[in-house]
Amino acid sequence: MTKPIIGITSNFTRKDEIGTIAHLGAPLQQWQLLADDYIRAIELAGGVPMILPIVEDFENLIQVLQVLDGLIITGGNDVNPLLYNKAPESTLGEICIKRDNVELGILNKALNDFNMPIMGICRGCQLLNVLKGGTLHQDLVAANVTKREHFLANYQIDYATQTAKIEHESKLYEIFKSNEIGINSFHHQGVDKLGDGLIITASAEDGVVEAIEQPGDRFVMGLQWHPEMLNGKANNFSKLFEAFVEACLKARS
């Protein structure tokens, strides 16, 4: 059986230090890059990862979407608040308008013109919510959503620092067969107003939204944490990626 092809979006940066410090490039070069965790998670789950570049015009990726069996929108920069009609606040982190435009374009196409399963991770979860008409907290602590820090960069990426409570009627529960799971946390933004047609399927102990889904048979899920980093032997997040790859196979047939 041919393995499903999973498109994974990349980051885009104009910071040339990525190339100069690592001796991979020259000053003034712009870079597209992706953490290896995403690639390994899909490959170990039985899929074929394909990195999607941030192009000048998202229409140039439509032909690529036609050969994909699934799509992952990855983590990275903050989402531009002007996209959900909010003024930028002082706590807003770095944004990438070029990436926002491309990912919103291909995500919209994938959702509405193709039947492929979709997974949004961290920023990808937020972007899914924005595309569906939702809004974001530009900083969870500054917005008084929580007093707990959710960007826990002092911890190892594969260390569960928080607990997410899972709603019983959800794909997430079907996958893990548990009311709660341990998660990592590397974000300072989060879902505010929920997007149309989405439901909240997991929340942190302080009420911060950790997962959203589109109800129905189709696999459309946004995860605020980074399951690809928790995909080692000490964790059971392989179940999540295996379920995603399996859904991609079913959608193809």
Per DSSP, the chain holds a count of helices (H) and strands (E) of: 7, 13
The pLDDT, as a whole number, for residue 252 is: 79
Please identify every residue annotated as catalytic: 122, 226, 228
pLDDT tens-digit profile, the chain (253 residues): 699 999 999 998 888 888 888 888 889 888 889 999 999 999 999 999 999 999 998 889 999 999 999 999 999 999 999 999 999 999 999 999 999 999 999 999 999 999 999 999 999 999 999 999 999 999 999 999 999 999 899 999 988 999 999 999 999 999 999 999 999 999 999 999 999 999 999 999 999 999 999 999 999 999 999 999 997 655 678 999 999 999 999 997 6
CA 194 to chain centre: 16
CB 73 within 8 A of CB 126: no
Tokens at 177, concatenated: 């067969």
CB 83 within 8 A of CB 104: yes
Taking each helix axis from N to C end, the angle separating 238-252 and 36-44, rounded to the nearest 10 degrees, works out to 70
- Using CB atoms within 10 A of its CB, is residue 24 exposed (0-12), middle (13-18) or buried (19+)? exposed
Residue of 40, 57, 59 lying closest to 158 (CA atoms):
40
Q: What is the pTM of this model?
A: 0.95
User: Cα–Cα distances in Å, from 253 out to 4, 44, 218, 227, 239?
Assistant: 11, 22, 13, 27, 22
**Which residue carries 């009627």 as its tokens?**
169
CB 185 within 8 A of CB 150: yes
CA 54 to chain centre: 15
CB 31 within 8 A of CB 25: yes
User: Cα–Cα distances in Å, from 179 out to 79, 118, 160, 221, 227?
Assistant: 30, 23, 16, 17, 17
* Sequence-ordered alpha helix ranges (H) in 6-67: 17-21, 36-44, 62-65
The pLDDT, as a whole number, for residue 28 is: 87
C-alpha span between 199 and 173 (Å, rounded): 13
| DSSP-assigned beta bridge partners for residue 120 | 73, 222
> Counting every residue, how long is the chain?
253
